[in-house]
Chain A
Amino acid sequence: MTLVYIILILMFGGLISWIIAGKNSSLAKGIALLAVLADLVIIIGFWISVYDKFDLGSQQWLIDYRVEWMPQLGISFHLAMDGLSLLMTALALFLGAVSLIVSWNEISKNLGFYLFNALWLIAGIIGVFLSLDLILFYFFWEVMLVPMYFILAIWGHENRRYAGMKFFLFTQLSGLLMLIAIIALYFIHGKNSGQYTFDYFALIGTSLSAKTGLWLMCGFMIAFLVKLGIVPFHSWLPDAYTQSPTGGSILLAALMSKTAAYGMLRFVVPLFPEASKTFAPVAITLGVVSILYGAKLAYAQTDLKRMIAFSSMSHMGFIMVGIFSFQALSYQGTIIEMIAHGISITALFTVAGVIHARIQTRDMDQMGRFWEQVPKMGAITMIFVLATLGLPGLGNFVAEFLILTGAFKSNVTLTVLAALGLIASMIYALVILQKIFHGERRKEWKLTDLTPREVLAMGCLIVAIVWIGIYPQPVIKTAQPTVNSLEQNSNNTTFVNDTGPTNKMTLKNGDENMTMTRETSTFFLSLNKKGGGK
């Protein structure tokens, strides 16, 4: 029931703040924030209480809640939580709270409806992270869409209607293709076993012919690739990220894109193990192309938010590489990347929002030498710029390093190319710092430094990113059962046509899994020493 409460608290919080916003706007904001924080406390309390259970060989699922919803169609209301969804839920609530704090004064028009949309959006995202019935998953997947569309189309910047429409069309259409794949899977499973159900646990063992599997997986992948913003499905992304209000950009870039990565880990790889192996070279190539192309485009932008949007696209490429390498290390890296990128992109969009609120422009050509006027803002920005370019000691480095280490085992050439992305990211990330905070002063702006509220929000983010950079062990430990089952899942697959890299995977047995985990831990022990020495 806890899981249901988590979602309900957000939904009711949204409704209540909508109702009372007309009378008392600060109370409405307070209630919305309180709802998110209450959930965050519940989740963290739960995390601490089960933390000891994340040991080797432990149960993957911590909570499993299932009631019939539409039994006639085999649809159930099935929520469950394992380490991965626990991490993602906590991330969603943490960043959700931050997004409310940083856009505290940004929204003045129709505040109540904004809060309602923001909270329902977070509720939808958490629903995606928790649902284990495929129709319920799709349901939440689409429920995220409508509030995001409203946030984008009502409170966005100058080109909001266009961006909103584009966002909605891309995600909705690709989502429908996923829905067809879900339904087809349902019938194939039903015909095989006589049990017509959308339940994840039942569907997970469905045997599919190679061709069908590939088609169905493509249905899922299209939806996820669009949401993740991978080349060539990215064209909505810069528009939507740029045109959203700050809070919307954060929710979109930091959380919604993670639902796609989560979907790949939770659904694509376990449901279609063989097909995803066949698809892996394509997926990794797409990932690498996104890394490099995104970095190149980011470098070419003058609009600050657009630049951040492309940098986000570049980082999402790493997630693709990590997932489709099918290595324990790269899975861990992917999960850390989801968290670290979420935090750093939140911070960068906050900086963009803060600057925009003060000077009403996002054009970097009009900025310059801000450090003198706003040193606090400059220092904080620097930390996250460094995080983005992958400085050791901050979260993104751990993630990208793990991903590349894992990927190296499965495809050397592409990994080398992906690693070039680290250099490219250094270039564009430093440009942000250079153009805004150093260089020439191009215009006289009256700037005020960060307010205590903004410093508080950024402070939380800094603590989080440094924590993940220096001591990622809690995250790794929590995700370990999920990673183990993902690994086992890929190992159990038998192949008709074995290819080089995947061949090694099949040979690996359970024992080596354990070694792998130990390897991960020792690796981090050594990393911690290095980090500590810095």
Chain B
Amino acid sequence: MISLTGLNLILPQLIIALAAIIVMLSIAVKRCHRFTNLFTLLSFAAAAISVLYIPRGSFGVSSLFVVDGFGKFFTVLIACAGFVITLMSYHYLNAREKRNEEYYILLLLSSLGALTMVISNHFVSFFLSLEVLSVSLYALIGYLKEEPAGIESGIKYLVLAAVSSSFLLFGIALIYMQTGHLDLSGIAAGLSSSGEFSGVFIAGLAMVIVGIGFKMALVPFHLWTPDIYAGASAPVSAFVATVSKGAVFAFLLRLFYSTGGLENKNVWTVFTIIAVASMLFGNWLALRQQNIKRLLAYSSIGHLGYLMVAFLAITDRGMQAATFYLVVYFTGMLAAFGTVIYMSNKKGEALYIDDYRGLFWKKPWLAAIFTTVMLSLAGIPLTAGFLGKLYLLTAGTEVGIWLLVIVLVVSSGIGLFYYLRVVAVMFAGKNENEASSEPVIGKIFPHGLVLTLLFLLLLWFGVYPSSLLEIIQQIASVIR
């Protein structure tokens, strides 16, 4: 049972849960967008800071959760991402929607799901947090009522996510049937006593992989991604790309590392195929995209594929590489969607690559930021993306998984094409048909500042990442 002393261990989760309730009640009293936004910001900040008050070490909170360095790191990461997304949402919602306050409840709830997922140590807590995350996402994706595309993609996500959840549940049931446990350490113990993986267990794992693969949008479970990214509002797309995927990836690491599921050759092979397919298809399909959000969607499939390389290395270095890369990916994706939001106006989002034509001559600073983001996603030195990729390659090379390493190199070569295309468009001649004279959202104060900060982070991690590396090296070996 949870004793009262254990409560401080899950302080961030409690703060966010409480914040969701307070926002809900405050709406009942009086609608005020500014207050709601500010309050959400504060609670994300408080959640991130409260991690400092959690003692060092690894603690179990009942059998459902485990609070360790790894979990804390991801808690901070998700809270920070939530903070940035909240900040970016304010002017965007002001411009495009009338009733905005509920948005923040949903955002807080889905973040709560993500936050509990990263400390889950039990299939029940995992499934619950997954549902909390997903159910709020259904509503978030279709939040803009004026946008038919948004509602369509909300429903699409609902149907597909429900199917994947049922796969997941069935898989969990099969695993339970075989091992008699739902907590990860119990499963690991059950496995090591029986020695070999039975057919039922493998089937269970396979179904869990389907469920998780869907959430992470790995090929071949990726079909929803481009539609949902393109249909949802840009801040929500950013949330799906970062928080939702990152949290599931964190649990994936915990699940397979602590149970040793990857030691089975078949499971490993399946993951290798998924990783190779994600890297190649993700980058390949992004090549011809004209819609920048779809492009980012496919590129994010590729990036999750890269992360799988580190995951499949099954070493401490692999863990560190994955964690570092995830931070880089978060920063890059948030900044990319931030730029899209910046360029949007009342009428709609700056969806097409052509909307960015000649941006460098009009808004050099914004174009410089977006260029850096693209170069970071492509993995060019001076930006964080390069060191991330270097770390991934190091992890892969250490254990000699040459196939994955070579595919990573080839697919990032493919990736260069479309990242450079975006960059080249920004530096191309001026846009002749200056269609909309509507002011862009980003003009207003905090947005540009956030983008600048993310940009500086990308450069900082790219040039002098020692401090971040040190933290990651401390936390990343705890998990096994």
List the A residue with the shortest CB-CB distance to B399. A187
Interface size class on chain A is 20 to 34
- Asked if B386 and A72 make an inter-chain contact with CB atoms under 8 angstroms apart, the answer reads no
Bound-state Cα–Cα, A72 to B317, Å = 11
User: What A residues does B380 contact at CB under 8 A?
Assistant: 142, 145-146, 172
Judge whether B155 is part of the interface by a CB distance below 8 angstroms: no
- Asked if B397 and A172 make an inter-chain contact with CB atoms under 8 angstroms apart, the answer reads no
Bound-state Cα–Cα, A521 to B61, Å = 79
Judge whether B465 is part of the interface by a CB distance below 8 angstroms: yes
Judge whether A262 is part of the interface by a CB distance below 8 angstroms: no
Chain B residues 464-480 with CB under 8 Å of chain A are 464-466, 469-470, 473
- Asked if A187 and B398 make an inter-chain contact with CB atoms under 8 angstroms apart, the answer reads yes
List the A residue with the shortest CB-CB distance to B464. A69
- Asked if B420 and A165 make an inter-chain contact with CB atoms under 8 angstroms apart, the answer reads yes
Chain B residues 96-153 with CB under 8 Å of chain A are none
Contacts A145-B380, A164-B424, A168-B420 given; indicate if A70 touches B469 (C-beta within 8 A).
yes
Chain B nearest CB, measured from A138 CB (Å): 8
Bound-state Cα–Cα, A71 to B381, Å = 18
User: What A residues does B410 contact at CB under 8 A?
Assistant: 173
Chain B nearest CB, measured from A329 CB (Å): 37
- Asked if B466 and A180 make an inter-chain contact with CB atoms under 8 angstroms apart, the answer reads no
Bound-state Cα–Cα, A164 to B409, Å = 20
Within 8 Å by CB of A72, from B406, B412, B469, lies B469
Judge whether A169 is part of the interface by a CB distance below 8 angstroms: yes
List the B residue with the shortest CB-CB distance to A68. B466
Bound-state Cα–Cα, A69 to B469, Å = 11
Contacts A70-B469, A169-B417 given; indicate if A183 touches B427 (C-beta within 8 A).
no
Within 8 Å by CB of B397, from A146, A165, A180, lies A180
Within 8 Å by CB of B466, from A69, A164, A169, lies A69
- Asked if B413 and A176 make an inter-chain contact with CB atoms under 8 angstroms apart, the answer reads yes
Chain A nearest CB, measured from B396 CB (Å): 9
Contact bitstring B445-466, A, C-beta under 8 A = 1, else 0: 0000000000000000000111
Bound-state Cα–Cα, A168 to B379, Å = 13
Q: What does DSSP make chain A's interface, helix, strand, loop or mixed?
A: helix
Judge whether A110 is part of the interface by a CB distance below 8 angstroms: yes
Bound-state Cα–Cα, A334 to B361, Å = 44
Contacts A70-B465, A72-B470 given; indicate if A154 touches B417 (C-beta within 8 A).
no
- Asked if A169 and B413 make an inter-chain contact with CB atoms under 8 angstroms apart, the answer reads yes
Contacts A142-B380, A183-B393 given; indicate if A110 touches B413 (C-beta within 8 A).
no
Judge whether A73 is part of the interface by a CB distance below 8 angstroms: yes
User: What B residues does A157 contact at CB under 8 A?
Assistant: none
Contacts A73-B394, A169-B417 given; indicate if A143 touches B381 (C-beta within 8 A).
yes
- Asked if B394 and A172 make an inter-chain contact with CB atoms under 8 angstroms apart, the answer reads no
- Asked if A184 and B397 make an inter-chain contact with CB atoms under 8 angstroms apart, the answer reads yes
- Asked if B405 and A180 make an inter-chain contact with CB atoms under 8 angstroms apart, the answer reads yes
Judge whether B375 is part of the interface by a CB distance below 8 angstroms: yes
Judge whether B390 is part of the interface by a CB distance below 8 angstroms: yes
Chain B nearest CB, measured from A211 CB (Å): 14
Judge whether B416 is part of the interface by a CB distance below 8 angstroms: yes
User: What B residues does A183 contact at CB under 8 A?
Assistant: 390, 393-394, 397
Contacts A110-B361, A146-B380 given; indicate if A70 touches B466 (C-beta within 8 A).
yes
User: What B residues does A184 contact at CB under 8 A?
Assistant: 397
Chain B nearest CB, measured from A47 CB (Å): 29
User: What B residues does A154 contact at CB under 8 A?
Assistant: 427
- Asked if A142 and B386 make an inter-chain contact with CB atoms under 8 angstroms apart, the answer reads yes
Judge whether B382 is part of the interface by a CB distance below 8 angstroms: yes
User: What B residues does A110 contact at CB under 8 A?
Assistant: 361
List the B residue with the shortest CB-CB distance to A153. B424
Chain A nearest CB, measured from B130 CB (Å): 33
User: What B residues does A142 contact at CB under 8 A?
Assistant: 380-381, 386
Within 8 Å by CB of B469, from A73, A161, A164, lies A73
Q: Which one of A70, A71, A165, A177 has the highest number of Cβ atoms from chain B below 10 Å of its Cβ?
A: A70
Q: Taking A179-B393, A183-B394, A187-B397 as given, write out 11 further A-B residue pairs in contact, using a Cβ cutoff of 8 Å, ordered by the A residue number.
A: A72-B469, A139-B386, A146-B382, A164-B420, A164-B424, A168-B420, A176-B413, A179-B390, A180-B397, A180-B406, A183-B390
User: 6 shortest A-B CB distances, which residue pairs?
Assistant: A142-B381, A173-B413, A72-B469, A183-B397, A176-B409, A139-B381
Provide 23 A-B residue pairs closer than 8 Å at the C-beta atoms, listed in order of the A residue: A70-B387, A70-B466, A73-B469, A110-B361, A135-B390, A139-B381, A139-B386, A142-B380, A143-B382, A146-B375, A146-B382, A149-B420, A164-B420, A164-B424, A169-B416, A172-B413, A173-B409, A173-B416, A176-B413, A180-B393, A180-B409, A183-B390, A186-B394
